[in-house]
Amino acid sequence: MKNIKELFWKLKTKNMSKKKRNAYFMAGSIITGLILLMVIIGLFYTPYPPTKMDASAKLQGISLKHIMGTDNMGRDVFSRVMYGSRITLIIAIGTVAFGTIIGSIIGAFTGYYGGILDEILMRIIDALFAFPSLLLALVFVSLFGQGMYQLILALGVAFVPSFARIVRSEVLRCKNMDYIESARLQSVSDFRIIFVHIMPNTKDTLIPSILIGFNNAVLAEAGLSFLGIGSQPPYASLGKMLSDAQSYLFTRPSYVMSIGMTIVLMILGFAFLGEGLSSSNK
């Protein structure tokens, strides 16, 4: 009787976990899909030109004409959010791509070869990992200068340590498996073993980490641009727009909330997707 109860409980827990995982993944897909749809539509159409100013329409509230109102220069906030979301996503994609590629290469070679190469590079990675990503990005922004591409480079460098550690641990797990030993016996090159035989098997861990990286990149971009050291005019990311809107938090809260909620939804979308995929691998 006890074994039957334990089996029933395990099945119930497994079903609950699967439902929770599916709920996270569904919520993340819907939110991220809506954000991406808005960005794609914004490539071809916006209700108003994002930079068009109208002195007679400054700080208007939400209406049918301006569904998110207007800013302090009379520009349509929704049109600017459509444009700003694109800039924020470009920075996030560039950041995660840089961090993933460089980090994966470092992690793959240090994990596979080990030895002095592993010791030297991983000590450098550990030193970089000891600094918070935003603080590390601030250091690199001061070196590279301000701007969208400089921000991608600065954040990308800050993201390298986390991806290097993830890939290294996966390579260490895989490199002594039977199929890898078989490939070595067949005189397969190390390069092919690493990138054809081992790296595809890291996807279950790497893909959720990339989605979580998107989440962190959006948050980091918003924070740095809010401080005025991220993207610069004529580029208007969501963080830069939020920085411009902060002065009107009490006089025109809908102006600030429209931009802030877009950032929150973007972060939640990637977070739910990452959680749904990472849970499926447990």
169-214 pLDDT, tens per residue? 888 888 788 777 787 777 778 788 888 888 888 888 888 888 888 8
- Specify the 3-state DSSP secondary structure of 70: strand
Alpha helices by DSSP H, listed for the chain, are 2-44, 77-113, 115-129, 133-144, 148-174, 178-185, 190-192, 203-226, 238-245, 253-280
Cβ proximity of 152 and 91 under 8 Å:
yes
d(CA 215, CA 207): 13
75 token code pair: 């520009």
Angle between helical axes of 203-226 and 253-280 (0-180°, round to 10):
160
30-35+76-280 carries CATH number 3.30.420.40: no
Contact 226, 242 (CB under 8 A): yes
Q: Where are the domains of the chain?
A: 30-35+76-280
Residue-wise pLDDT tens for the chain (282 aa)?
444 444 434 434 444 466 777 787 888 888 888 989 998 988 888 888 888 887 777 878 788 888 888 888 888 888 888 888 888 888 889 999 999 999 888 888 888 887 787 788 888 877 777 777 667 777 777 777 777 788 888 888 888 888 888 888 888 888 788 777 787 777 778 788 888 888 888 888 888 888 888 888 888 888 877 777 766 666 678 888 888 888 887 888 888 888 888 888 888 888 888 777 765 555
pTM, 2 dp: 0.82
Distance CA 100, CA 120 (A): 20
